[in-house]
Amino acid sequence: MMKRFESLDAVRGIGALIVVTGHLHIIGAFTELHFFRTCYIIVELFFVLSGFVLTHTYAYRDVKFTPYISSRFFRIFPLHILMLLIFIFLEFCRLLIQKNAGIHFDTTPFTGRTAPSEILPNLFLIQSWTPTTHYLNLTFNYPTWSLSVEFYTYIILYLTIITFRKMNIAPLIWLLISVATLWLLVSGNPILQQAVTRGVSSFFAGAFTYSIFRIFSDIKISTITATILEILCVVFLIYFVNSQYEAKQIICTVIYCLTIFTLAYQRGIISSFFLNKYMQHLGKISYSLYMVHVAVILIITTIMFIIQKKTGIELTQLIAGRRNLTTGNIFLNNLLALSIYFIVIVTATITYNNIEARFMKYRIKPSSNSQ
Distances (CA, A) of 291 to 77, 96, 284: 11, 25, 13
- pLDDT at residue 136, rounded to an integer: 57
In our burial notation (b when 16+ CB lie closer than 10 A, e otherwise), range 58-76 reads bbeeebeeebbbbbbbbbb
DSSP E strands, the chain = 316-319, 322-325
Task: pLDDT band for 134, please (50, 70, 90 cuts).
Answer: low
- Decide: 160 and 172 in contact? Cβ < 8 Å: no
- pLDDT at residue 318, rounded to an integer: 96
Query: In this predicted structure, which of 50-59, 162-171, 172-181 has the lowest mean pLDDT?
Result: 162-171
Q: What is the mean pLDDT of the chain?
A: 94
Residue 371 has pLDDT above 50, yes or no: no
- pLDDT at residue 367, rounded to an integer: 52
Task: pLDDT band for 165, please (50, 70, 90 cuts).
Answer: confident
- pLDDT at residue 164, rounded to an integer: 94
Q: Which amino acid is present at 275? A: L
Q: What is the mean pLDDT of residues 179-184?
A: 97
Residue 353 has pLDDT above 60, yes or no: yes
Task: pLDDT band for 167, please (50, 70, 90 cuts).
Answer: confident
Residue 365 has pLDDT above 90, yes or no: no
Render 38-73 in DSSP notation, one character per residue: SGGGGHHHHHHHHHHHHHHHHTTS---HHHHHHHHH
Task: Choose between 301 and 3: higher pLDDT.
Answer: 301
What pLDDT, in 10s, does the model give residues 69-118?
A: 999 999 999 999 999 999 999 999 999 999 999 899 999 999 989 999 99
- pLDDT at residue 368, rounded to an integer: 42
Q: What is the mean pLDDT of residues 43-48?
A: 98
Q: Which helix (H) or strand (E) holds 231?
A: helix 223-242
Question: Could you tell me which of 65, 262, 55 has the C-alpha nearest to residue 170?
Answer: 55
Q: What percent of the chain has pLDDT over 70?
A: 96
Distances (CA, A) of 242 to 6, 39, 322, 328, 369: 26, 7, 21, 28, 48
Q: What is the mean pLDDT of residues 119-147?
A: 87
Residue 369 has pLDDT above 50, yes or no: no
What pLDDT, in 10s, does the model give residues 261-308?
A: 999 999 999 999 999 999 999 999 999 999 999 999 999 999 999 999
